[in-house]
Amino acid sequence: QSAQYGPCSLRKMGAMEALELLDQLVDESDPDVDFPNSFHAYQTAEGIRRAHPDKDWFHLVGLLHDLGKVLALFGEPQ
């Protein structure tokens, strides 16, 4: 995995592009959800912001926590 994805040669993208790509994915862990996967990321970040307004790093972690799922769009199992 590290040799294949470590050099970032498959595709380079910013965090926002990766969030948008998540919307193309049907999450096997929650296939019946009727809203985009990026919405979950924003909900998580907002929930953390409300609970921990002083921890901006934690807000970011909430936003980015599922970005690894984009690998499923490149053939990796979920």
Q: CB of 36 within 8 A of CB of 62?
A: no
Is 52 annotated in a binding site? The answer is: no
Query: Is 32 assigned a ligand-binding role in the annotation?
Result: no
59 labelled ligand-binding: no
74: which 2 tokens? 């490149």
Q: Cα dihedral angle (58, 60, 25, 17), rounded to 10 degrees?
A: -170
Output the known binding site: 40, 65-66
Output the known binding site for Fe cation: 40, 65-66
